[in-house]
Each structure stands twice: as structure tokens, then as C-alpha cells.
């Protein structure tokens, strides 16, 4: 089930409080200001700062936060 548009309207980056957008694949939420992606796992957005993946790493195919 994709993220509901109503949910996207109220979600914000937990780090900087900026708006977020869905990735083209629908598997993450992008904060352009922080240049990070918060993954969506099993239809649940993981909005934890420590789970964010750098946008460049996400675009390279790395979908996990650095350990």
C-alpha cells in the first residue's frame, strides 16, 4: 500500500522539520535540505534520524544506514 497523500502532507524531516517527498520508486522519503532519505519498510516510513541514508548513497543503490 503506498503512502497516503494526506500523510505526506503532515510528515516532516525529523532533523530539520522541512517538507519531505516520496522517492520515484516509492521506497523512501527524501529531505532535500538534509540530502537524506528515510526508508519505507513494509509500508511504514522509518522516520528516525539514525536510519536516514545519505541521498547520494541511496541513489547508488545503498538502502541501509551506515552502522
Say if 26 falls within a structural domain.
yes
Q: Residue 13 has what pLDDT?
A: 98
In the chain, how many domains are there? Answer: 1
Whether the Cβ atoms of residue 9 and residue 20 lie closer than 8 Å to each other: no
The Cα–Cα gap between 61 and 67 comes to 16
Is the pLDDT reported for residue 25 higher than 80? yes
Which pLDDT band holds residue 67 (cuts at 50, 70, 90)? Answer: low
Say if 65 falls within a structural domain.
no
SS3 state at 41 = strand
Q: Can you give the pTM of this predicted structure? A: 0.90
Say if 21 falls within a structural domain.
yes
Q: Residue 60 has what pLDDT?
A: 92
Tens-place pLDDT, residues 53-66? 999 999 999 888 77
The Cα–Cα gap between 62 and 53 comes to 8
Q: What is the CATH number of the domain that holds 28?
A: 2.20.25.10
Range of the domain at 38: 5-59
Is the pLDDT reported for residue 47 higher than 90? yes
Is the pLDDT reported for residue 17 higher than 80? yes
Say if 27 falls within a structural domain.
yes
CB atoms within 10 A of CB 33: 13
Amino acid at each position: 500500500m503506498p503512502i497516503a497523500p494526506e500523510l505526506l502532507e503532515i510528515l516532516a524531516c525529523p532533523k530539520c522539520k522541512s517538507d519531505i517527498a516520496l522517492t520515484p520508486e516509492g521506497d523512501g522519503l527524501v529531505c532535500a535540505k538534509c540530502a537524506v532519505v528515510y526508508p519505507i519498510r513494509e509500508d511504514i516510513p522509518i522516520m528516525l534520524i539514525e536510519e536516514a541514508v545519505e541521498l547520494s548513497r541511496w541513489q547508488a543503490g545503498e538502502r541501509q544506514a551506515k552502522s
